[in-house]
Structure 1
Amino acid sequence: MASTNIRPARRSEAGALTELALDSKGHWGYDEEFLAACRDELTMRAADIERRRTRVAEAGGRVLGFTTLDGIPPEGALGMMFVAPDTLGRGIGRLLFEHTMTEARRLGFVRLTIDADPHAEPFYLAMGAVRIGATPSGSIPGRELPLLEFSLTPH
């Protein structure tokens, strides 16, 4: 695989990022009805790209994943983090996560929360996040998601 770099997302990529998010979510075996219910919450809009500090991991001209860093320092959220299903296990998620945490520290964030998909919780815990509770799903009534916290200490 070509060298992977992290760069700011482009407004013109909003639609492709939405599809990447849905493909990534679908990797975990969720059915079409579930994914349809999540579509609005997983939709990236051109107007959101800069405001949400969206970054993409790219290799060979292909976007392999993306993150958003939401909020105003000192507290915010890792709003979205998705990796293309065919690249899972290749370090793309770790690269994106570490880049986003470095950027968050640089901007003055000291704490980020993560509303994690249950399938992604082990990854975030391995990255140093701690489960602090549960939060209602923004898409599925009655469903709860792991609520995680990542403390950003200066490096």
Structure 2
Amino acid sequence: MTPNIVSIRPLKPTDSTQAVQVFFDAIHRGTADVYSAEQRQAWAGTSPDIDGWRNRFVGVQGFAAETAGQLAGFMTIDEKGYIDLAFVGPDAMGQGIGRKLYEAVETRAREFRVKALSTHASEKARPFFERMGWSVDRAQTVEKRGVTLTNYKMSKPLA
């Protein structure tokens, strides 16, 4: 079996159509081992919010990962080094896609000359970021649609 070839490219506003499905699947299927069904529904809703994501990537910087012409994951970064969105579809997890996206994002952060990266990582994303050299600054409880979830404020200094 030939492994899928992954290409990393800049994120485009038109990626939002496929990205909403990656986000929805990553939450509902990819985090089922760490969040309850109620928490996943509060976070991502009961169906992909296509209208809500229509303009989600306008003016946003980041990278998209494609395999076989389909969006497999994406990661965003702003000029202050904040990673807002970092999702890989559950069928693509464990294939190094997150690492490739992260490497592109960290390179971009260095181009921005930021001194540190930051994010709010989910229970699922926390171990990934720790493998990339990040530290947990603090655990926090957030509320989405009346349901509480734990996530982590994390950071990584850049030399």
Decide: shared fold, TM above 0.5: yes
Alignment match, 1:39: 44
The reply on whether 1:6 has 2:8 as its aligned counterpart is yes
- Say which SS state the counterpart of residue 146 (structure 1) adopts: strand
Cα offset, 1:37, TM superposition? 1.6
* Equivalent residue runs for 1:6-155 within 5 Å: 6-26=8-28, 27-29=30-32, 30-39=35-44, 45-70=53-78, 72=79, 75-137=80-142, 139=144, 141-153=147-159
Which blocks of at least 5 consecutive residues in structure 2 are unaligned? none
- Say which SS state the counterpart of residue 135 (structure 1) adopts: strand
Partner amino acid for 1:25? I
Which blocks of at least 5 consecutive residues in structure 1 are unaligned? none
Partner amino acid for 1:48? R
Partner amino acid for 1:80? L
Query: What is the total number of aligned residue pairs between the two structures?
Result: 149
The separation in 2 between residues aligned to 1:80 and 1:46, in whole angstroms, is 15
Of stretches 43-52 and 9-18 in structure 1, the one that deviates more from structure 2 is: 43-52
| TM-score with structure 1 setting the length | 0.83
| TM-score with structure 2 setting the length | 0.81
Deviations 1:109-150 (A, max 9, x none): 221211111122111101000111123425265433111102
- Say which SS state the counterpart of residue 28 (structure 1) adopts: coil
Partner amino acid for 1:49? F
Distance 1:45 1:108, change over 3 A: farther
Partner amino acid for 2:55? A
Distance 1:11 1:46, change over 3 A: farther
Cα offset, 1:62, TM superposition? 1.4
The separation in 2 between residues aligned to 1:50 and 1:69, in whole angstroms, is 13
The separation in 1 between residues aligned to 2:143 and 2:58, in whole angstroms, is 22
Cα offset, 1:31, TM superposition? 4.8
The separation in 1 between residues aligned to 2:59 and 2:37, in whole angstroms, is 30
